[in-house]
């Protein structure tokens, strides 16, 4: 019994440390021998009617290549490392966690990037959404929709549709094809060509927003005439306002990183637990899991109170409180991992890198559902109960097996 308790305490301690320490994957991705695809981003606007990359309907902007060629990835791509440079075509979604990320080619799907600096080069073309959480974001090429939370964001190229940006400083020197939804402390829409030659850097001297500009700031900015084609709406930022776009994206990043951290720790310490998690959501075991999820916090709180009252066992009371806090902290992550295991089983995804990518997608979907009023609260409560139940049920079942 004591051995099992010590094992549990050790695992919980490692999990807590994993949630507070950065995760580093020493794997770099470069493309020294890759061919540069045809240019797709013009200085002002891309050609209308551009379709995503397709082998069936090739055109001048989507060159045909062999799917087995290293210069063409016909699948989703998952990368981690220090300096990541994408010089090859990706006919799928892109998932990157790195220090510096540069895209100089076509991305056929969405791009999810968490990094220190993110640069979309002049030849870079993201055919769908760019979701990025970074310190510095620079777009010199073309992106269809931009969702960014950063300290500094600079747009020199072309955003085909909308931008939703939360940033300390936002520089728009390129073109926004539709609407701009912005929250920032500083907004620059014109470039001083006397100090920085715009033509030499293949950028516009001022912004062009074809739709509406809606921004939130501490004070109203002076918007030059001719910049915004539609309406300009200013919302006074108040300390009593709800979470900003930047805050929400930062919370999303923290949510996803926490789940991935718990998954990596489980993959290292308890791989069998990961394989068996989906069994706890079956019709036979889901009710016991719910029961354990409800009873566990009640029992631990009562025992902790009892130990505190006795005085002599105060340390045990503190230990139980720490265990309860750790279980609640990882409950959402455990549920997300379990749900992801079920999805991967249905889709027959067996490779670790594929499971990792799907875990990110599952985490984002779970977080977005949690934003829905009322439904999000109920979902959060169910997730915590089931997560607690899965962990405690797993521990109890192991004890029974050892006893038998």
pLDDT at 176: 95
pLDDT for the residue numbered 314: 67
The per-residue pLDDT for 332 is 87
Is residue 354 within 8 Å of residue 341, measured between CB atoms?
no
Q: In sequence order, which ranges of 270-351 are alpha helices (DSSP H)?
A: 271-276, 286-310, 314-347
pLDDT computed for residue 74 by the predictor: 87
Centre a 10 Å sphere on the Cβ of residue 122 and count the other Cβ atoms it contains: 19
| Per-position pLDDT tens, the chain of length 404 | 434 444 444 444 444 444 443 333 333 444 333 333 343 334 444 444 444 444 444 343 444 444 445 688 888 888 877 899 999 999 999 988 788 999 999 999 999 888 889 999 999 999 999 988 888 999 999 999 999 888 899 999 999 999 999 888 999 999 999 999 998 888 999 876 554 444 444 445 788 999 999 998 888 888 888 899 999 998 876 444 455 566 677 778 888 888 888 888 888 887 777 777 777 776 677 777 788 888 888 888 888 787 777 766 667 777 777 888 888 888 888 888 888 888 888 888 888 888 888 888 888 888 888 877 677 788 888 888 888 888 887 777 654 443 34
Question: Which pLDDT belongs to residue 228?
Answer: 93
Across-strand partners of 206? 190
Instruction: Measure the CA–CA gap between 255 and 203, rounded to whole angstroms.
Output: 36
Q: Quick one: DSSP state of residue 199?
A: T
332 CB burial (10 A radius; 0-12, 13-18, 19+): buried
Asked whether 160 and 143 are in contact (CB, 8 A), the reply is yes
Question: How many Cα atoms within 13 Å fall on the side-chain side of residue 7?
Answer: 9
Structural contact between residues 146 and 130, judged by C-beta atoms closer than 8 angstroms: yes
**Axis-axis angle for helices 352-370, 375-403 (nearest 10):** 140
Neighbours of 313 (CB within 10 A): 16
Paired residues of 175 in beta bridges: 158, 208
Q: How far apart are CA 290 and CA 63, in angstroms?
A: 53
Residue 13 confidence (pLDDT): 46
């Amino acid at each position: 019994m004591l051995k099992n308790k010590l094992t549990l305490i050790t695992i919980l301690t490692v999990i807590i440390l994993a949630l507070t320490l950065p995760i580093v994957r020493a794997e770099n991705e470069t493309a020294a021998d890759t061919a540069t695809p045809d240019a797709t981003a013009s200085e002002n606007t891309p050609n209308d009617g551009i379709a995503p990359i397709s082998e069936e309907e090739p055109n001048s902007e989507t060159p045909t290549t062999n799917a087995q060629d290293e210069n063409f990835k016909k699948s989703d791509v998952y990368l981690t490392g220090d300096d990541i440079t994408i010089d090859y075509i990706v006919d799928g979604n892109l998932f990157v966690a790195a220090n510096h990320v540069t895209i100089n080619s076509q991305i056929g799907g969405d791009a999810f990037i968490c990094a220190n600096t993110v640069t979309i080069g002049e030849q870079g073309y993201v055919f769908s959404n760019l979701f990025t959480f970074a310190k510095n974001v620079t777009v010199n090429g073309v992106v269809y929709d931009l969702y960014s939370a950063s300290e500094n964001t600079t747009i020199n190229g072309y955003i085909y549709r909308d931008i939703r940006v939360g940033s300390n400083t936002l520089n728009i020197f390129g073109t926004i094809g539709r609407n701009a939804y912005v929250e920032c402390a500083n907004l620059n829409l014109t470039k001083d060509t006397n100090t920085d030659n715009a033509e030499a850097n293949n950028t516009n001297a001022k912004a062009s927003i074809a739709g509406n500009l809606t921004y939130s700031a501490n004070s109203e900015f002076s918007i030059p005439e001719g910049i915004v084609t539609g309406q300009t709406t200013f919302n006074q930022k108040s300390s009593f306002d709800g979470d900003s776009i930047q805050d929400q994206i930062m919370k999303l990043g923290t949510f996803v990183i926490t789940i991935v951290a718990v998954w990596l720790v489980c993959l290292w310490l308890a791989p069998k637990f990961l394989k068996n998690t989906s069994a706890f959501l079956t019709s036979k075991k889901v009710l016991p899991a719910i029961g354990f999820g409800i009873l566990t916090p009640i029992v631990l709180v009562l025992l902790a109170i009892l130990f505190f009252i006795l005085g002599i066992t105060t340390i045990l009371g503190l230990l139980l409180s720490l265990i309860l806090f750790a279980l609640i902290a990882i409950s959402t992550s455990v549920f997300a991992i379990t749900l992801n295991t079920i999805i991967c089983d249905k889709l027959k995804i067996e490779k670790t890198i594929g499971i990792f990518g799907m875990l990110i997608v599952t985490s984002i979907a779970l977080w977005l559902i949690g934003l829905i009023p009322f439904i999000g609260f109920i979902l959060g409560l169910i997730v915590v109960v089931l997560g607690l139940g899965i962990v405690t049920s797993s521990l109890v079942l192991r004890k029974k097996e050892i006893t038998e």
